[in-house]
Structure 1
Amino acid sequence: MKNFKIPNNIAFGDGALEELANIQGRRAVIVTGGSSMKRFGFIDQVQAMLSKADIESCVFDGVEPNPSVETVEKGAKLMQEFEPDWIVAIGGGSALDAAKIMWCFYEHPTLTLADILPVGAMPALRNKAKFIAIPSTSGTASEITAFSVITDLKEHVKYPIVSEHIVPDIAIVDPALPAKMPAHITANTGMDVMAHALEAFVSIAANDYSDPLAMRATKLVFENLATVYENGEDMVGRDNMHNASTLAGMAFSNVSLGLVHSLAHKIGGEFGVTHGLANAILLPYIVKYNKQFTDKYAEIEQYLGIASVEDAILTLNHQLNIPVAFKDIDEVTITEEAFLAVLDRMSDNAFNDPCTLTNPGTPSPESVKAIYTQAYYGQL
């Protein structure tokens, strides 16, 4: 028997934030990242809506782009002191991911990250609080998924955590939030959606419930991402991309991902490459590799009316000013010497990432190393 799990309530479209005024409770901790959610007034709106519901709230801010174990522990401590019955995460995927694990440590204070890393190891939640996720980016789909990614800064490793217990109770998908994203974040997070959709579609666990969601999400990204990159105020495009993110999240949360995410997790941990950017660069190489083992890309090509998924992705990346190779990215400098020094370790870690398990075919550490090498030098 298989299961398909999504939040109990998904509020979406213009004005979806007002759903907060309808919940029942006493206290809420709002978890967010940098200053943008406050600067654009969204934290004030959240607190105002919670006040309408007679819910007292406080804010934990400052979640970093790659949320660390230390940040998670600080947030859990605040929750243990404030004793909320709602946790409201608002912001990018990092804020939502961090809040999920804060929630776990709030309910189970004696646990450590190592205790919850094995799939299925996390104990049941909702003994003290429920969870609301409000994404500000159209990318990670953390508002809908059973996934979180936490970084061990000492080991330079990103750890994906998978548990059905961290699927939010309510997802609020309001396009007003991603409309404030700068163009480069729009591009990177949008390509994260593409990776989610395509990897879910070709996952060896894919099924009749996940496939339509993944296909529709892929189509929405191809049709809208370049538009909102060029014009961030196109609210129809923003709404379509926000919905695409959540649709792809519904799919991959239930059937997992593949090598794109396995490799992106590890190169992000080693060099600090933004997750969506890493996905975007890796996608064409891994689609080409995976075509040896699955015919499902041909279904996507027929559905979209394109000749080649990898060529279409390269074209879209070019429109988004995303380079073909890791050696050419601007956000961090990855020298050849530094890359080669960690290549073997990074390849082994990526091979052992949980997402590798549902990739088509039979990847090996050697094939992972070959893909990393091709993507570093741009050898398509």
Structure 2
Amino acid sequence: MTEFGLKTTVHFGQAPLSYLDTLKAQKIFIVTDPFMVESKMADRITERLSGKEVSIFSNVVPDPPMELVVQGVNEVIAFRPDLLIALGGGSAIDEAKAIMQFSRKIGELPDMDFIAVPTTSGTGSEVTSFAVITDREKGRKYPLVAPELLPDVAILDSDLVKSVPPGVVADTGIDVLTHALEAYVSLKANFFTDAFAEKAVLTVFQYLLRSFESSEDTEARAQMHYASCMAGMAFDQTSLGVNHGIAHNIGGRFKVPHGRANGILLPHIVEYNADLKDYQQKEYSLAARKYARLAELLGIGGVNVRTGVRNLISHIRKLEKALKMPQGFHDCKIAQAEYQKEEETIAQGALADGCTATNPRQVTRADVIKILRQAW
């Protein structure tokens, strides 16, 4: 039996932040980053919480480390809120998830409702039961996976992403594409998750470049915000694949932004998962056939599965070049000797990563090493 369900209620469209006017909670703990406070973006939330007791924890940084989670846990236990709001990008939402989970376990707190308000269009964390926390000493990222990490409510306000700079739009947008593609070919993919993944892929190719080129293109910014959420809905049910398994380990060691690492790896992973042989090949893997199906939906299909997959890979590369993204890790200020030195450790970490377990093609150490060298 296969199960599909959605816990999170999503508010979007016109004035979605007005939902906050209906809150009954009296003690509210907000997890965000310093920029949200300094830029007054957080005021858009707090101005709707008049008459309530509010505590703001703004100690969020990219790739949130465990020590900051511990700080947040201590503050939550002391404040004892009945509602937690995460405001920011994936790092803020992930840190809020970890703070909430550990606070409940350690502090014997009453149930807290959880609202996520994303301000970037990439992680889909507002609708997933995943969070990623960094161990700085070991240089590794650790996924947390638990049903209780799912927010009760997600608020998608496209006004909050208007000021996102082009570089971040590119990184986060390619992260959306990677989420959708990995969910689409995951071993746990199903009829319903395929629908979300397909729509997310089509939306990315239609709107990401427009969103990158102009912050005034409100339609493109809104559509990418929705695509991020849809991709999150898909991969929350299916998990991901070796693309994320490798990216988690590269990001932890070399401080490459997560979406950027995913983007560099993505064309190589699609080719790897498709497992194309020679031109006489008659039987193709399910992943290859699904990639070819996406190529058809994008209007770039070929005369057979092989050409469809090749066209999809070419389409991904073309988009990434237009977004001015690095084409290899050599463009990320990583010393080649250091990169090569870490190959074995990255490979071991990728194989142990929970995301890799649902990759459509069984991955070996040698496979990861080969992909790392292709992606250099």
Per the normalisation by structure 2, the TM-score is 0.92
Partners of 2:184 and 2:264 in 1: CA distance:
19
Partners of 2:366 and 2:5 in 1: CA distance:
35
Structure 1 position 296 matched with structure 2 position 266: no
Structure 1 position 325 matched with structure 2 position 328: yes
Q: What is the identity, as a one-letter code, of the residue corresponding to 1:84? A: P
User: Residue 208 of structure 1 corresponds to which residue in structure 2?
Assistant: 191
Q: What is the identity, as a one-letter code, of the residue corresponding to 1:328? A: D
Partners of 2:314 and 2:352 in 1: CA distance:
29
Structure 1 position 280 matched with structure 2 position 283: no
Structure 1 position 56 matched with structure 2 position 39: no
Helix, strand or coil at the partner of 1:42? coil
Offset, 1:233: 1.5
Structure 1 position 235 matched with structure 2 position 235: no
Helix, strand or coil at the partner of 1:367? helix
Partners of 2:215 and 2:200 in 1: CA distance:
19
User: Residue 157 of structure 1 corresponds to which residue in structure 2?
Assistant: 140
Offset, 1:127: 4.0
Offset, 1:5: 3.5
Helix, strand or coil at the partner of 1:143? helix
User: Residue 75 of structure 2 corresponds to which residue in structure 1?
Assistant: 78
Among the aligned pairs, what percent are the same residue? 40
1:225-264 map, 5 Å: 225-264=208-247
1:176-191 map, 5 Å: 176-191=159-174
Partners of 2:3 and 2:137 in 1: CA distance:
36
Moved over 6 A (4+): none
Asked if the contact 2:64–2:133 (Cα under 8 Å) also holds between the matched residues in 1, the reply is yes
Helix, strand or coil at the partner of 1:66? coil
User: Residue 103 of structure 1 corresponds to which residue in structure 2?
Assistant: 100
Asked if the contact 1:14–1:175 (Cα under 8 Å) also holds between the matched residues in 2, the reply is no
Helix, strand or coil at the partner of 1:209? helix
Offset, 1:140: 0.4
Partners of 2:8 and 2:351 in 1: CA distance:
34
Asked if the contact 1:284–1:310 (Cα under 8 Å) also holds between the matched residues in 2, the reply is yes
Asked if the contact 2:250–2:256 (Cα under 8 Å) also holds between the matched residues in 1, the reply is yes
Partners of 1:152 and 1:366 in 2: CA distance:
26
User: Residue 280 of structure 2 corresponds to which residue in structure 1?
Assistant: none
The worse-fitting range, judged by mean Cα deviation, of 71-80 and 320-329 is 320-329
Helix, strand or coil at the partner of 1:306? coil
Offset, 1:14: 3.4
Q: What is the identity, as a one-letter code, of the residue corresponding to 1:47? A: T
Partners of 2:243 and 2:151 in 1: CA distance:
25
Partners of 1:48 and 1:328 in 2: CA distance:
43
Offset, 1:364: 0.7
Spell out, residue by residue over 1:82-130, the C-alpha distance to the aligned partner (whole angstroms, 9 max, x if none): 11010000001000000001001111117xxxxxxxxxxxxxx994311
Spell out, residue by residue over 1:140-174, the C-alpha distance to the aligned partner (whole angstroms, 9 max, x if none): 01100010000001111000111111110000011
Q: Cα RMSD over matched residues?
A: 1.3
User: Residue 27 of structure 1 corresponds to which residue in structure 2?
Assistant: 27
Helix, strand or coil at the partner of 1:344? helix
* Alignment length (residue pairs): 356
Partners of 1:301 and 1:15 in 2: CA distance:
36
Per the normalisation by structure 1, the TM-score is 0.91
Partners of 2:40 and 2:48 in 1: CA distance:
12
Offset, 1:55: 2.6
Q: Which runs of 5+ in 1 are unaligned?
A: 111-124
Partners of 1:279 and 1:68 in 2: CA distance:
20
Q: What is the identity, as a one-letter code, of the residue corresponding to 1:301? A: A
User: Residue 16 of structure 2 corresponds to which residue in structure 1?
Assistant: 16
Offset, 1:7: 3.4
User: Residue 43 of structure 2 corresponds to which residue in structure 1?
Assistant: 44
Partners of 2:139 and 2:362 in 1: CA distance:
27
Helix, strand or coil at the partner of 1:159? strand
1:86-165 map, 5 Å: 86-109=83-106, 127-165=110-148
Q: What is the identity, as a one-letter code, of the residue corresponding to 1:15? A: A
Partners of 2:359 and 2:142 in 1: CA distance:
18
Partners of 1:164 and 1:310 in 2: CA distance:
34
1:301-320 map, 5 Å: 301-307=295-301, 308-320=311-323
